[in-house]
Structure formats: C-alpha cells, structure tokens
Amino acid sequence: MDLAPLIRNIPDFPKPGIQFKDITTLLLDPPAFRHIVDTWAERYAAKNVDAIVGVDARGFIFGAALAYKMGLPFVPARKKGKLPGETISEDFALEYGTDTVEVHIDALNEGQRVVIIDDLLATGGTVAAVARLMQKLKVEVVEAAFVVELPPLKGREKLQPLEVHTLVEFMVE
C-alpha cells in the first residue's frame, strides 16, 4: 500500500523552513492504519519480541496498536516528568538545546527483546536516546520501526548499529 499520498505536508511548521509530515491524515484512513500495524505484526512475529516500546507521543499510536495486535506489553518512552513512578532518563540534543526521555525502571526485565516504534525518523536523536535507555536496562533492541523516514536528515546513520525499518520515505531537507 502506498502510504505517501495519505501523509499531509505542512510547510513552515513548527518553524519556517520545516516541511512537517503530518500522519494524522493517514490515521483517518482505517485500511492504511491497519496496513501499518499488520505489516509490523507480521514482520516481528518470528523475531521473539517481548515488548513494544512507543516513543512519546505519536509512537504511542502505532506502538500501542501493534502491542495489542501481537498480545505484547506496551512500554511508553515519555518526555521528562510525565511518568509517575521511578524512572531512568536519557538526555538528547535538539537543534536548539536538549530534551530528556524517560521510561519506568521496572517496565522491562534484563534480556528482554523489544522493538522501538515512532512515527517519523528525521535526525534520530530521540530514538537514539530511547535505545540508550534500553541499554541501561540491559534490554535488546531488535529494531526501530518508523512509518516515515526523511533520509536527507541522516537519522538512520545516527542510530547505527541499530536495525531500522521504515514504510515510506520523503526526500526533504
């Protein structure tokens, strides 16, 4: 299924020069949403995955649906201060400053195998931080999966040696 036509482009959001890829229009198409979840469920069925880790916030949409489909636990990786229990955190660089992502310290057990899910791979900073959190928990990341990738921003390179899977690419700067 060609997902690209279902993803809206919003010029100059959140700031001038950015071409924002809006997946909310894709979510309005149930067969497309089902295609994404079913494709990933099939992909990860034979990989002995123990849990799905969804990245705040749009990764929650796809990650939770995938966890439900596969009958697996869903672990939210949230922005700092959003989780109520004891957490571990990891800082990452933004274009202007830094941000922090956290997971509950008891969300996963050592040796478990997870897939990290997010909507879009741009520079890769957020998912790289989530992957470092998984290392701290001694959890194996099987793969990071994204609906959209923006290859010119070289996020895939930042995530190496992590395996990356994407469903659609846009060649934007």
Annotation marks residue 95 as catalytic? yes
* Distance from C-alpha of 128 to C-alpha of 10, rounded to nearest angstrom: 26
Annotated catalytic residue, options 58, 78, 90, 143? 58
- Tell me the DSSP string of the chain: ---GGGSEEEET-SSTT-EEEETHHHHT-HHHHHHHHHHHHHHHHTTT--EEEEETTHHHHHHHHHHHHHT--EEEEEETT---S-EEEEEEEETTEEEEEEEETTSS-TT-EEEEEEEEESS-HHHHHHHHHHHHTT-EEEEEEEEEE-GGG-HHHHHTTS-EEEEEE----
Annotated catalytic residue, options 86, 95, 110, 173? 95
Annotation marks residue 58 as catalytic? yes
Q: Which residues are catalytic?
A: 58, 95
